[in-house]
Amino acid sequence: MSDFSQWVPEHIRTLGGYTPGKSLRQAQRESRVNCIKLASNETPFGPSPRAVQAMQAVLRECNFYPDNDAGELREKLAERHHVEPEQVVVTAGSTSLLGIIARTLLSPGLNAVTSERSFIVYPIATKAAGGQLIEVPMRDNGFDLDALAAAIDHNTRLVFIANPNNPTGTLVGPDALDRFLEKVPEHVIVILDEAYCDFAQHFATARGTKYSHSLDYVRDGRKVVVLRTFSKAHGLAGVRVGYGLGPAELMSYFARMRTTFSVSSVAQAAALAALEDEAHTRKAVVNNSEQADWLVRRLAELGYRVLPTWANFVYCELGEDAAAVAKNLQNEGVIIRPLGPWGAPTAIRITIGTPEQNQTFLKAFKKVMEKAAVR
């Protein structure tokens, strides 16, 4: 039998794969109970009915390859964000774009900088490109921008900032980001990952503050790439469509690195329709804001440390083995995310659902924790 490892580069042999949140069907097979999924930060309201209709309408044309450049969607996104179409690249989800960015700008000997307890794809994308990921400690469960700036060296090419951060739900304010960018040297590109921007913007408006200057950076030609996705507030996680906005020349390199025809006709049609259904997106973000307050309050009343969130999930510190709690919750019909892979083995992340789903979670959570306390 051949030993294929001798032909695989070391940085690929030692690469850890992405472990997604458990699927609904898998959890139900394992636990033999009906479950609700509050593990992967999906919207509980599904895609816009307009998006569903748009997807159905193009199914008859699936014998044709899709528009490789997603031209109509690029034009619409450029118009919406007041940038040029050449500053937009559409990919099969923003996670795909993270891999493209890393492969374009990193190689052995180069590094990227981010925070610990941030998006779990950053180390995978960096290491898959042969680069080194430097993770700095958090400050108050959020990004420490001073530490990020200090970690940059002459081999750094990328800084990843998730804003809001996944899994802590914390935010870096726009003024702090303005100051940080002044410290970033010319050879470094800052990636602002704004997957949860719709929720953060709604929270910021309700809280009387500002969310982000990210698109101003793009319009001003700064060395910044902003990532957005249709997987969260728009409810299109299953069809995989995301995009980036940044300097036109840099985006053209990213476009060359995409897999050909990677964004399907179905995904493009869905995204275009979802952009037009602002009422559906608003329903998702309003429910999220109201239910976040309710869920944070209830968990705090039970004595758990819960971080205020700017996203569609809640970070909760349990003080005990989170994986065991997650397993017991699954047996009660609720799937949540234990955060051991993020280096937080005693914390969980709960996606904010409908009022009924959140009440179901809380009832199951109380039951599980009370049983654990008796043992």
| CATH, residue 29 | 3.90.1150.10
**Is the domain of 186 the same as that of 249?**
yes
pLDDT at 27 over 90: no
Same domain, 266 and 153: yes
In a domain, 59, yes or no: yes
Q: Examine residue 102 and state whether it is found in any structural domain, yes or no.
A: yes
313 DSSP β-pair partners: 351
* Preceding amide of 164 cis, omega within 30: yes
8 Å CB contact between 105 and 239:
no
Q: What is the pLDDT averaged over residues 136-140?
A: 97
Compute the average pLDDT of residues 54-59: 97
Same domain, 366 and 234: no
Give pLDDT, residue 214. Answer: 98
**pLDDT at 31 > cutoff 80:** no
The pTM of the full predicted model, rounded to 2 decimals, is 0.95
What value does the mean pLDDT take over residues 254-282? 97
pLDDT at 309 over 80: yes
Boundaries of domain holding 173: 49-277
The pairing of strands 242-245 and 88-91 is: antiparallel
333 in a structural domain? yes
How many angstroms separate the CA atoms of 160 and 266, rounded? 30
Q: What is the DSSP letter of 72?
A: H
Position 55 confidence tier, pLDDT thresholds 50, 70, 90: very high
- Residue type for position 54: A
pLDDT, mean of residues 181-198: 98
Flag whether 359 is in a domain.
yes
Task: For residue 4, tell me if it sits in a domain.
Answer: no
Cα separation values, 197 from 93, 193, 221, 305, Å: 15, 9, 21, 24
Flag whether 81 is in a domain: yes
First to last CA, the chain: 50
Instruction: Supply 64's token pair.
Output: 């044709």
CATH of the domain at 91: 3.40.640.10
Q: Assess if residue 268 is contained within a domain.
A: yes
Mean pLDDT confidence for 74-84:
98
- Which among 126, 110, 187 has a CA at the least distance from the CA of 160? 126
Residue 285's pLDDT is: 98
Yes or no: say if 141 and 170 are a contact pair by the CB < 8 Å rule: yes
Based on the fold, state whether residues 326 and 285 are members of the same structural domain: yes
Residue 217 sits in the same domain as residue 307: no
Do residue 80 and residue 180 come from a single domain? yes
pLDDT of residue 21 exceeding 80, the answer is no
Evaluate whether residue 1 is within a structural domain.
no
* Predicted pLDDT at 274: 98
Residues 17 and 93 in one domain: no
